[in-house]
Every structure is written in C-alpha cells, then in structure tokens.
A and B are shown apart, each in its own frame.
Chain A
C-alpha cells in the first residue's frame, strides 16, 4: 500500500502552541512524523530586553496561561539570584503553596482532556467540576483564577490570612477524596486501559536520549524532578515523593499525573501547617548588579529553565526561556513513529499528542489527507477526525 502524507496543523487543539505535523501513514500505521513549530513565536525574549525587571513580571506571566506560576517563580528567583539575596521564608512557603495549587489544577485539567480525547467525556465532566475547587482556592488567595499576579521580585504581593487557612484545608480535603476516586477510576475503567496501555510508548533509553522532561520522563522510569534535585522556594523542607513508573506508555503518564496531584495536595497541607511568620517581601533596588544567572523550576509539564544576563542597567541585556514542551518535542516525534511490533495508529494521534502536554484552547483544526499516487486529496475537520478516533 502506498504511503500517505497527512498534514495536521498549524491550528492545533491539543497543544498550547499551534504546531504543524506531517505524518506519513501506511494504511492505519504512522510510519514517521515531522514537526514544524514557531507559529506562535511572540518575541517575548526580545520584548523582555526593552522592559524593566518589574515590567517584565506581567510579560513573563503571559508566556503560558496554565503554568503561569512556574514561569513567574522561575523569573523572580532568577533575578533574586542576581542580587544574591534570599527572600523571607514565609514568601517561599506562599510561593510553594500557589505553585502546587497550580500543578493540581494543571494535572486535573489534563486528566479531563485525556478522557475527552479517548471518548470518555464523563471523566472530563467529573474532573473539571472538581477542578473548580482548586480554582476557587487560587482565587481566594490571589484574587484571580488563572493569572495569579502574586510573584514579585523579593517575595510575593499578597499574604495568606489566618482565616483563609481553614477554608483552604476544607478544599484540600475535597480534592484529596476526589483524586483518590479518580485513581481508582483510571486503574479499573476499561475505556482508559484499552486506549492508553501500550500506546505512545517511549522507552527509558529513548526518553534519556531525547532529553524528555517532567511527567513524560518520569513515566519512562527516570527519577528526575527539579523540586528534589535542585530545590527552590520551600521545597528543601516540604517532604514529597518523586512519582515514577516503568510502564513507559500513556497509561504510565496518566498514573504519574494522578499520584503527583495527591502528592501536591499533601505538600500544600504541609505548607499550611508549617507556615512561618514574618514579612512576605524584601525591598530590592531597581537595578541588579552585573552578572548572569540560570534558574530552574519544575513546571507541571517538566523542567522550566530561564537564563538572565544583567549589564548593570534596569533592563535585562538578555532573557532566555525554555518551556518544557520544547524539551518533549523530540520525544513526541519518537512516540509517533512505528517501529518493529510497535504500531502507531492514526486514531491514537490525538491522545498521544495530548499525552505530553494539555491545552484548553481546543481550536478548530483541519487535516488534509493526500494520496500522491492518485493525486487525490480530501479534508477532515477536527470533529470528523475525532469521531473517527472515537469509533475506532
């Protein structure tokens, strides 16, 4: 049978950036994959050079909506490294609380999306209903549901009032109970098992070779978590377990995210129990000293790394951001390539794509199917492709 080339994108529903994929398919099997990114290149690194350090906080926050806390924590602590100053312990705890709440919301969002991609919409409805609990908690602390605007250079902008703590604890109890329920659902529900086991396989050797990060790497049996390896904020004190599994497939990625959510809930509870007293920020001069610095945080999707260079003015001379998705892209191409007995089917493309990184902006997408030998070509909309995927 002749190979078809299937072009998907650049308007793409499963990833936060529009990306263009070309799949060469032989019947139902994906033979090889090529990826082209850059459709959402916004020039944030160049823009950061023309703004002051304080003006850059809202800009950096808008790199990503879902994991905005990871980026702002990474940015502010990077600038604090330049000053060589430590922020108050209470501020570090508040950063950790909000960062873990952000991770809970991101992982729950992803579990819902994964359910949606495999045609299990009941899971989406349930999980997203419960996700509202964590969104309300974030709103109670910061005043905003999504973009928290909590981080500032030298600490945080808002304190957690004592009367709020009881409310947050109640929310955590609900979340823990519900997440434990989802743990049972994904482990026993045949819809999940059939569509995720042995799909999107990434062996440990491949994951290391392609420098994968985050839950994708941990689901391939590599123990790597920036919170444990290079602790920042309050992670040097807050106990947690690095979740790994050697299943190396999509099911492993689901399991890692579910257990990580439970770990995050426990971390927030620990922080609330041990919240130290004291100020929430220190005042720093507008201009950091000359120098350069690298800072890393564990974003919900994996290692997020920033680099800053200061030339002694109030604006950075260079700011570089590497978000975790770029780190997982090479691994994704590997997952979408059939080799030997491992076959990637067209119907599994949406869930394998969603497997490395979720996104809410499920925009419309067109897939153009081309059969070069016959000069035949037709178009499937995203909903048609999804219908096809669900019927499979």
Chain B
C-alpha cells in the first residue's frame, strides 16, 4: 500500500520499488533526484528520524542508502553514484542527525556530500592515506605473514 503511495508521490523519479518484508521497503532513485525525493518523503510523512546511512560497492558505482524511519516502517532510499569523483547532496539540512552517518560513508567509501557542514575524518585514523577507501571492493585485506619458528 505504502509502495504505491510512494510511487505516486515521487512519480518518474522512482527507478524501482521493492517491498523487502512487512515494514521494510527499498526505493531506488537517480542520484540527481535523491535529495528532492527524500525531502518530499520527509514532508509528506513527517519523517524526522534517520537511522543510519549505508554505502555499498556495486562494481562501477557506489550505492548510498539512507534508512528513514516512518513509525515502525523502514524506508530505504537507494541512489547510485559513480566511483570516480563520487558526490551526492547532503541530507544534513533535512535531518541534522545525518552528520555522523555521512562522515562515515565519506571515510569508508570516498563519497563526497555537497553542502555538509564538516566532512572530517570520523572512524579512520589520522594517518590513513587520503585516497584509500577500505570498504570499496578494490581494497583487499592483506593477511599478515605468519611468524615462523626459528
């Protein structure tokens, strides 16, 4: 029911809607419609709570997925940004609580957020190289050599 309502509200912005289970829904939109769609959802349903933001590597693109709470419903908006010069609009003016989550995605996936007040390091250490993003698939974990007995 909510899925058809959202489709009607967002119109052509919606690329795909999937109901994962009762009370969880995935809405895929284009990166340029991302902020506008979320603003419309927030205004229509009075959404104030963002639970977190997930980044995920999909090969050529990175999916940015804020998880919004509408009562007991979880609405996950999904937008893909290219890996090279990855950038998307910030949500911090709609949800001030998104500040930390955007910093986390920026750290681990290298996605820039246009208009973020303070896009500093959050979880990685200060001496971590600037252009290495550990949760991208091209970053391989190097297993340490086992220590051999003398």
Which A residues are closer than 8 A to B by beta carbons? 37-38, 41, 43, 45-47, 50, 81, 84, 208-212, 224, 226, 228-231, 291-294, 296, 303, 305, 307, 309, 317-318, 320, 322, 326-327, 329-330
Q: Is the CB–CB distance between A45 and B122 below 8 Å? A: no
Q: Which residues of chain A come closer than 8 Å to B95, judged between CB atoms?
A: 211
What band does the interface of chain B fall in when counting residues whose beta carbon is under 8 Å from A? Answer: 35 or more
Q: Is the CB of B48 within 8 A of A208?
A: yes
B56 to A, closest residue via Cβ? A318
Query: When chains A and B are docked, how far (Å) is the Cα of A326 from the Cα of B52?
Result: 9
Chain B positions 50 through 85: 1 when the CB is less than 8 Å from some CB of chain A, otherwise 0:
111011110000000101000111101000000000
A45 CA to B73 CA, complexed, in Å = 25
Q: Which of B56, B73, B97, B125 has the most CB of A within 10 A?
A: B97
CB of A327 within 8 A of CB of B97, answer yes
Q: Which of B65, B67, B134 contacts A43 (CB 8 A)?
A: B134
Contacts of B98 in A (CB 8 A): 211
* Contact indicator A305/B67 (Cβ below 8 Å): yes
Contact B123 A37 (CB under 8 A): yes
- Chain A residues with Cβ below 8 Å from B48 are 208-209, 211
Q: Which B residue's beta carbon lies closest to that of A321?
A: B52
Decide: A41 and B124 in contact? CB cutoff 8 A. yes
Residues of A within 8 A of B72 (CB): 226, 228-231
Chain A minimum-CB-distance residue to B120: A36
Closest to B143 in A: A50
Compute how far the CA of A210 lies from the CA of B123 in the bound complex, rounded to whole angstroms: 19
In the complex, A317 Cα to B54 Cα: how many Å? 13
In the complex, how many angstroms separate the beta carbon of B147 from the nearest chain A beta carbon? 21
Q: Which residue of B lies closest to A304 (CB)?
A: B51
B121 within 8 A of A: yes
Contact between A38 and B54, CB atoms less than 8 A apart: no
Let me know if B123 and A38 touch, CB within 8 A.
Answer: yes
Asked if B7 CB lies within 8 Å of chain A CBs, one says no
A307→B124 contact, CB < 8 A: no
B23 lies within 8 A of chain A by Cβ? yes
Q: A293-B24, A307-B54, A322-B51 are in contact. Are A210 and B97 (CB under 8 A)?
A: yes
Give per-residue flags for B26-59: 1 if the beta carbon is below 8 A from chain A beta carbons, else 0: 1000000000000000000000111110111100
Chain A CB within 8 A of B150 CB: no
| A333 CB, min distance to chain B CBs, angstroms | 10
What are 21 pairs between A and B in contact, CB < 8 Å?
A37-B123, A38-B122, A209-B48, A210-B96, A210-B97, A211-B49, A211-B95, A211-B97, A211-B98, A212-B97, A229-B72, A293-B24, A294-B24, A307-B67, A307-B76, A318-B54, A318-B135, A322-B51, A327-B51, A327-B52, A330-B97
Q: Which residue of A lies closest to B74 (CB)?
A: A294
CA separation between A240 and B48, bound complex, in Å?
25
A38-B123, A211-B95 given; A229·B71 CB < 8 A: yes
> How many whole Å from B110's CB to the nearest CB in chain A?
15
Contact B97 A46 (CB under 8 A): no
- Contact A41/B123 with A46-B141, A330-B97 known, Cβ cut-off 8 Å: yes
Q: How far is the CA of A368 from the CA of B48 in the complex (A)?
A: 38
Q: Which of A38, A50, A292, A330 contacts B20 (CB 8 A)?
A: A292
Query: Is the pair A38, B124 in contact by a Cβ cutoff of 8 Å?
Result: yes
B125 touches A38 (CB 8 A): yes
Rounded to whole angstroms, the CA-CA distance of A226 and B20 in the bound complex is 18
Q: Top 5 A-B pairs ranked by shortest CB distance? A: A211-B97, A229-B72, A322-B52, A38-B123, A230-B72
Cβ contacts under 8 Å, B96 to chain A: 209-211, 330
A307-B65, A329-B100 are known contacts. Are A292 and B52 too (CB-CB below 8 A)? no
Residues from 88 to 140 in B contacting A, C-beta threshold 8 Å: 95-101, 104, 108, 121-125, 134-135, 139
Answer yes or no: B148 CB below 8 A from chain A CBs.
no
B-chain residues with CB within 8 Å of residue A317 when the two chains form the complex: 56
Whether B21 sits at the interface, judged by CB under 8 Å, is yes
Q: A81 and B123: CB pair below 8 A? A: no
B54 to chain A, nearest CB (A): 4
Please report the C-alpha to C-alpha distance between residue A303 and residue B104 in the assembled complex, in whole angstroms.
Answer: 18
Task: Give CA–CA (A185, B41) in the complex, Å.
Answer: 46
In the bound complex, CA of A386 to CA of B65 (Å): 42
Q: Contact between B124 and A294 (Cβ–Cβ < 8 Å)?
A: no
Tell whether A294 pairs with B141 under 8 Å between CB atoms, given A305-B67, A327-B51: no
Q: Are A38 and B100 in contact (CB under 8 A)?
A: no
Contacting residues, chain B, for A330 (C-beta < 8 A): 96-97, 99-100
Measured CB to CB, the closest approach of chain B to A43, in angstroms, equals: 7
Instruction: Find the A residue at minimum CB distance from B50.
Output: A211
Which residues from chain A contact B125 at a C-beta distance below 8 Å? 38, 41
